[in-house]
């Protein structure tokens, strides 16, 4: 299995394909991240890739794995990322 690309490899690849400087590409990704984090509470969609949203988890019962004791897990807000259908189709089509 191939290794995942590093941030600098992604920036270099995008820089080469778009003919923009690495500094400009890095700035673009940094600004995209900042915008996504800020807008996650309102749901941030990256067309063709997926959707970032805040989701409320209900309070639930759980178990302490060390002692086996039943515990109450409190309700909390979590960040979820839902992959777009176009992304799933593109990635999984290559696996066949």
- This prediction's pTM: 0.75
CA torsion 77-81-15-92 (nearest 10°) is 160
CA atoms within 13 A on the CB side of 83: 8
- Whether residue 95 has pLDDT greater than 80: no
CATH (one of 3.40.50.880, 3.40.50.300, 3.30.390.50, 4.10.520.10) for 43-96: 4.10.520.10
**Mean pLDDT across the stretch 7-34?**
95
The 10s digit of each residue's pLDDT in 26-74 is: 999 999 999 999 999 999 999 999 999 999 999 999 999 999 999 999 9
CA atoms within 13 A on the CB side of 71: 10
- Whether residue 94 has pLDDT greater than 90: no
């Amino acid at each position: 299995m191939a290794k995942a690309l590093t941030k600098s490899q992604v920036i270099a690849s995008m820089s080469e394909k778009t003919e923009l400087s690495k500094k400009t590409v890095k700035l673009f990704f940094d600004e995209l991240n900042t915008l996504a984090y800020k807008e996650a509470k309102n749901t941030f969609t990256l067309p063709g890739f997926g959707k970032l949203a805040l989701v409320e988890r209900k309070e639930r019962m759980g178990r302490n794995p060390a002692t086996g004791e039943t515990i109450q897990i409190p309700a909390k807000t979590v960040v979820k990322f839902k992959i777009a259908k176009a992304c799933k189709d593109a990635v999984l089509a290559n696996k066949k």
